[in-house]
Chain A
Amino acid sequence: MIFKGSHILSVDQFTRADIEKVFTTADEMRPYAQRECITRVLNGAILGNLFFEPSTRTRISFGCAFNLLGGEVRETTEVKASSLAKGESLHDTARVLSGYSDIAVMRHPEPGSVAEYAVASRVPVINGGDGPNEHPSQALLDLYTVKLEMATRGQGIDGLRIALIGDLKNGRAVHSLCKLLGMYTKVHFKLVSPPQLAAPEEIIVALIAKGHRVEICHELEEGIHHVDILYVTRTQEERFENQEEADKYRGLFRVNQSIYTEHCEPNTVIMHPLPRDSRSAAKELDEDLNQNPNLAIFRQTDNGVLVRMALFALILDVADKVHDYVHPVTWYTAKREPVPNQ
């Protein structure tokens, strides 16, 4: 794909080469995110960060990524406060707001809404999640994390063994990640969920058609051994008819340190799109895993900033200029990458 000026609406837009392009660009962003130096390549540029549905990490991650490239961020977070609440069409909103920024990120509860908005937008739009439909930057940062986690073992994404666990019916992160992984070769998927929350048939069929191995598991224990990655998801309670229905699945696929020790290979990496429900009753991904060096969930969120910086840099066509606008960091920062000392 040609990144310059493109809307990023779906993972379906990407080829494997495009994904690699995003990843190598993300690698280049690390010194800036780590505060080794700052870049002002987007000095003067404005991001419209339009969140018509609650979001903390995605919204801040996009905003922070834009700031790290030297640009400014204009936030719209409350649909009630916006003109949409007064009956304005997405078309009109898009036409108006795109006059105020150079690029936009948009989240909206309605599937397809971001694509609809993009049609009328004068500037590129990145889908920050349109209901249960798509969340391409999440899938990219997940895959980028998989790549980095596997690289220290001398392995790539081809031949990966991954268990996707939990609400595979409603989880858009899982759907998008499956599509991206599907572009690689010989991936072994273990889809671990109760039958009622199984992954959509078309996703499974597509993976099998591409020559991947897909195993359906209903028991956690059989699903999590002999895999490289555990990708645990939360029950998408907001997508159920009522709380009682959602509660039925609580704790079915709990992962904690003792389950990990008993059933997982010692280097199995644990991922989760976050937020995880840390209340003890949630029984999702226990906090006793926090000391486990293979718990990659916070590395995912850190990597998310790099991937989003890469998307901005590629779409605004400054990926090869980032290093030309560099300044030293003058303040104290605990993030700066230490210099190896022997």
Chain B
Amino acid sequence: MDSIYLYNATLINEGQSKETNLLIQSGRIAAIGSSISLPPGTKEVDLAGTVLLPGMIDDQVHFREPGMEHKGSIATESRAAVAGGITSYMEMPNCNPLTINAETLANKHQRAAQSSMANYAFYLGATNNNLEDIKRIDPAMTCGIKVFMGASTGDMLVDNRDTLEAIFSSTPLLVATHCEDTPTILNNERLFIQRFGEQIPFREHPNIRSEEACYLSSSLAVELAKKHATRLHVLHLTTAKELALFSSGDTNKKRITAEACVHHLFFNDSDYEAKGALIKCNPAIKKRTDQIALQEAITTDIIDVIATDHAPHTWEEKTRKYTQAPSGLPLVQHALLMLLELVDNGTFSLEKIVEKIAHTPATLFNVKARGFIREGYWADLVVIARNRKTIVDQSEIYSKCGWSPFSGHTFSSRIEQTYVNGKLKYDRGAFPDTSPGIALEFSERD
């Protein structure tokens, strides 16, 4: 395989920023340092003026395949992800058919092996009646069990307390939960429909999918995990109140971990006025005070990872009225740029961002040889120009849905290149190598 030499790079890795050079051989990082001897035929890339980061490992995306290809596919969404500096992703099971047994899981692996531009892993979905499938699953085939604890996603809603107890007590795998209490949401929704009829303003979304709904559900998840010593990962926290359920510290010492998503860190309820349905998502974007608390929880390590919850819908679907507009937004292409904007305004350090998008996801899921820029690790890398702007242009949105909540927005940085397994997959608006990524491998957790 080709050798690539990246030089004059400012490497941001493991809490440090340093000027150095890096040699990629056979897809892996062969050497890091100032005096590397290059094999003949090595391609040399001058990275002066850019920063080099480990690629983002996004532990929560919805790529819609199989069954909802009008919204997106593994091919289209992984392409957008790579353009956004995401080199590995973990994909959610609410496809059609649902990813709830070995067969449907294997089907996704086959599809991704053909068409995914990034490295991939898939969650196995829990339902009220697939406990035996969960117990039997080969741990190498999945990054974890996804439990929609009372979120309305059709058949995947697990609202039976006995089923929850059984899942939490019997799986050796990581349990990742979406926590929103359905009865609370349905009651709120009834009140808002009574008040507004079909014209519910989008700004009421966080009052329907309320703080109380989140807290009721996430506190139950934490309670069950403590009772059964489950390895629990609570996805997309959105409220200050829920943060009290989690503890600060090293991710690899925690049994209960937490995730926040880029849009909950970036937006708050004042943005509904301008963005409306485009930022309607579940759990909802909440108050400014919640946003600030989430940002602080990143810095204090209460929240372990940052993800996107990329969830594309078509423009036609998204521009319906409140009760019919589906929740979710396309984010993989701009997630890193959003976070860099928060670095620019002083919210985060760049080192902290790298930790939460690459290091801790790798640690948390025991991903083998990724998430860090280390010799011997896979060369999953992203090159970013911090002094070049990105104007979000409609024609350069790579998600199948073709829209973004950031249309017309100017980000302060630009993604220059993305390397996946040492291959240059994205290069300033071009995709020079569309070969597939590979399945993430997981080591046993201690």
Contact = CB atoms under 8 A, between A and B. Distances in A.
A149 B223 CA distance: 35
A151 B282 contact: no
Contacts of B395: none
Contacts, number: 53
Given A27-B194, A299-B196, A302-B197, A338 B152 contact: no
Interface in A8-56: 27, 30, 34
B152 A342 contact: yes
Q: Which of A299, A302, A335, A338 has the most CB of B within 10 A?
A: A338
11 contacts: A27-B194, A149-B195, A152-B188, A293-B203, A302-B197, A338-B323, A338-B324, A340-B152, A340-B189, A341-B325, A342-B282
A152 B190 CA distance: 9
Interface of B: 151-154, 188-189, 191-199, 201, 203-204, 207, 282, 320-321, 323-327
Given A299-B197, A338-B320, A342-B154, 4 more contacts: A34-B197, A149-B195, A293-B201, A337-B323
A254 B198 CA distance: 29
A342 B153 contact: yes
Contacts of A339: 323-324
B324 to A, nearest CB: 5
B interface, by DSSP: helix, strand, loop or mixed? Answer: loop
B207 A342 contact: no
Contacts of B189: 340
Contacts of B151: 342
Given A152-B204, A293-B203, A338 B198 contact: yes
A302 B195 CA distance: 10
A144 B194 CA distance: 11
A340 B204 contact: no
B194 A341 contact: no
Contacts of A27: 194
A119 interface: no
A214 interface: no
Interface in A198-221: none
A339 B320 CA distance: 12
A160 to B, nearest CB: 15
A338 B196 contact: no
Contacts of B152: 340, 342
A341 B152 CA distance: 9
A183 interface: no
A148 interface: yes
Contacts of A153: 207
Contacts of B154: 342
A337 B198 contact: yes
B195 A148 contact: yes
Contacts of A341: 323-326
B109 to A, nearest CB: 26
B312 to A, nearest CB: 14
A interface, by DSSP: helix, strand, loop or mixed? Answer: loop
A117 to B, nearest CB: 35
Contacts of A335: 198
A338 B321 contact: yes
Interface of A: 27, 30, 34, 148-149, 151-153, 293, 299, 302, 335, 337-342
B197 A151 contact: no
Contacts of A340: 152, 189, 323-324
Q: Which of B192, B196, B325 has the most CB of A within 10 A?
A: B196
A151 B194 CA distance: 9
Contacts of B194: 27, 30, 148, 151
A337 B324 contact: no
Given A151-B191, A152-B207, A342 B326 contact: yes
Nearest to B186: A340
Contact of A152 (B191, B199, B282): B191
Nearest to A296: B195
Contacts of A151: 191, 194-195
A224 B203 CA distance: 23
A153 B151 CA distance: 22
Given A152-B207, A293-B201, A293-B203, A337 B193 contact: yes
Contacts of B324: 338-341
A335 B199 CA distance: 11
Nearest to B188: A152
A153 B154 CA distance: 28
Contacts of B203: 293
B271 to A, nearest CB: 15
A293 B199 CA distance: 9
Contacts of B327: 342
Nearest to A149: B195
A340 B326 CA distance: 8
Nearest to A144: B194
Contacts of B320: 338
Contacts of B282: 342
Q: Which of A152, A338, A339 has the most CB of B within 10 A?
A: A152
Contacts of A148: 191, 194-195
A223 B126 CA distance: 55
Contacts of B207: 152-153
Contacts of A30: 194
Contacts of B198: 335, 337-338
Contacts of A337: 193, 197-198, 323
A44 B152 CA distance: 43
A340 B324 CA distance: 6
B236 to A, nearest CB: 15
A151 B204 CA distance: 13
Nearest to A30: B194
Contacts of B153: 342
A290 B320 CA distance: 20
Contacts of A34: 197
A27 B193 CA distance: 11
A302 to B, nearest CB: 7
A33 B290 CA distance: 39
A82 B40 CA distance: 107
Nearest to B202: A293
A151 B151 CA distance: 23
Contacts of B323: 337-341
A338 B326 CA distance: 12
B127 to A, nearest CB: 16
Q: Which of A27, A148, A302 has the most CB of B within 10 A?
A: A148
A152 B192 contact: yes
The list of the 6 closest CB pairs from A to B, nearest first, reads A293-B201, A338-B324, A338-B323, A148-B195, A151-B191, A342-B152
Nearest to A26: B194
A149 B197 CA distance: 11
Contacts of B199: 293
B6 to A, nearest CB: 43
A342 B194 CA distance: 20
A240 B198 CA distance: 40
A324 to B, nearest CB: 23
